[in-house]
Amino acid sequence: MPPFSGTGPARGGRRLNARGAGGGGPAPLLQVAGLRVGLPGAAGLAVAGLDLHVAAGEAVAVVGASGSGKSTTALALARLLPAAAVVTADRLRLGGLDLLSLDERGMAAVRGRRIAIAFQDGAGALHPTRTIGDQVAEAVLRRRAVGWRAARAAAVEALAAVGLPGAGERARAYPHELSGGGCQRVMLAIALALQPDLLVADEPTASLDPTGAARVLDRLEAEQVGRGMAVLLLTHDLGVAAGFARRLAVMHAGRVVEAGPVAAVFAQPRHPYTARLLAAAPRLQGPPVPAVLEPDPPPPPHGCAYAAACPFADAHCQAEVPPLLRLLEDAAADGRQVACWHQDRIAPVGGTRHGG
Ligand code: SF4
């Protein structure tokens, strides 16, 4: 018998309820439950039962090491994976739409206006033989009834707003004439010009210097607060996540293993992997620290994917995958969710573990 399952007392007195979008209140804009993605030629699942929710106008950061499944999740949300990929989910809904039931025409209407992705690989996602100004202007025209001249002017403004130096001049350039960071900014300008309900920004600051990164995050926040756009920020950088989002989801081996308000998760992680990440980034109270998350050993075929690296692993962990459950009786929990059979053993950062 597991220490907790369904609704009931957990070890150590904390209670957790069954998996869910969490929180009560209005239905989230994005609801993902049990998302699984198998990629052709890959051993195991790239996304292995991911649960996630984002409310309208909310900023949520998903942190995880390279290979944890963040980018594959983004592509799955917009149904942009190769046809050979196998995607299943218990629930994949955006603003009342069941994304898995839509045909390609339906998804084409959703992309851009409802959900837009600013890809990490901007150079690969942009059209190579069209100027960047034209590509941003086309996005402007999808949302605004203006002429081409006005759209081009708006495109230059959009490029300047994401911090592209010399935007007026650069608007006439082709993607191959820009740096990786420049292409990322163009991708972001295109995504923002589409005015989506939900923007998925995949490592939007990875190729930028601190000043450029701050400019991009300010721009995202302006759209999130000013227009009520929800933002799903995918990053390996805990400093970026802490500085931008109010809520955090920690991803490991294709699953969310812990989620909750950033301040609460940082103050007292409940998953051993989260605790390890935070221990690797000791200056979270000061200037942002770009903590590089190292990939873990390949997950075992059964049980918890973190068992091979976890100091608390036991036979139960190696036999059964822990579901993502919500903490109920922790006053500071505020919607905390944890996927760990022994979450009660994790002590606050800097403290000592107990009960183990
Ligand atoms: S379920 Fe077990 S192996 Fe997995 S993180 Fe929790 S204690 Fe560690």
Per residue in 309-344, pLDDT (tens digit) is: 899 999 999 999 999 998 875 555 568 899 999 988
From 312, 321, 338, 344, mutation site for ligand 1 pocket: most ligand atoms within 8 A of C-beta? 312
CA atoms of 344 and 147, how far apart (whole Å): 60
pLDDT, tens digit (0-9, with 9 covering 90-100), for 79-108: 999 999 999 999 999 998 999 999 999 999
3-state secondary structure of 247: strand
- Going from the Cα of 294 to the center of ligand 1, the distance in angstroms, rounded, reads 18
- pLDDT value for 332: 54
Dihedral of CA atoms 225, 217, 91, 316 in degrees, nearest 10, equals -120
307 lines ligand 1 (CB under 6 A): yes
Local confidence band at 293 (pLDDT 50, 70, 90 cut-offs): low
- Going from the Cα of 313 to the center of ligand 1, the distance in angstroms, rounded, reads 5
- pLDDT value for 41: 82
- pLDDT value for 344: 84
CA distances to 33, 58, 328 from 84, rounded to whole Å, are 22, 33, 40
312 lines ligand 1 (CB under 6 A): yes
pLDDT mean over 280-294: 52
Q: Token digits for 322? A: 């822990």
Local confidence band at 124 (pLDDT 50, 70, 90 cut-offs): confident
The proportion of the chain whose per-residue pLDDT surpasses 70, expressed as a percent, equals 82
Residue 343 CA: which ligand 1 atom is closest?
6
Q: Token digits for 259? A: 């989620």
pLDDT mean over 100-124: 90
Mean pLDDT in the chain?
A: 83
310 lines ligand 1 (CB under 6 A): yes
- pLDDT value for 149: 93
Can you give the residue ranges of every domain in the chain?
8-27+53-79+97-114+196-345
- pLDDT value for 136: 96
pLDDT mean over 28-37: 95
- pLDDT value for 319: 94
325 lines ligand 1 (CB under 6 A): no
Q: Is the model's pLDDT at 10 over the cut of 50?
A: no
3-state secondary structure of 171: coil
Q: Report domain 8-27+53-79+97-114+196-345's class.
A: alpha beta
- pLDDT value for 345: 82
- Going from the Cα of 91 to the center of ligand 1, the distance in angstroms, rounded, reads 25
Local confidence band at 217 (pLDDT 50, 70, 90 cut-offs): very high
Residue 318 CA: which ligand 1 atom is closest?
3
Q: Is 333 left (phi over 0), alpha (psi -120 to 50) or beta?
A: alpha
187 lines ligand 1 (CB under 6 A): no
From 340, 343, 345, 346, mutation site for ligand 1 pocket: most ligand atoms within 8 A of C-beta? 340
pLDDT mean over 158-163: 93
Q: How would DSSP label each residue in 187-228? A: HHHHHHHT--SEEEEESTTTTS-HHHHHHHHHHHHHHHHHH-
4 lines ligand 1 (CB under 6 A): no
- pLDDT value for 7: 25
The one-letter amino acid code at 159 reads L
CA distances to 44, 45, 257, 308, 320 from 301, rounded to whole Å, are 9, 11, 17, 11, 10
- Going from the Cα of 24 to the center of ligand 1, the distance in angstroms, rounded, reads 27
Rg of the chain (C-alpha set)? 21
pLDDT mean over 225-237: 93
To which residue do tokens 């970026």 refer? 240
Residue nearest to atom 1 of ligand 1 (CA): 340
Q: Which residues pair with 238 in a beta bridge?
A: none
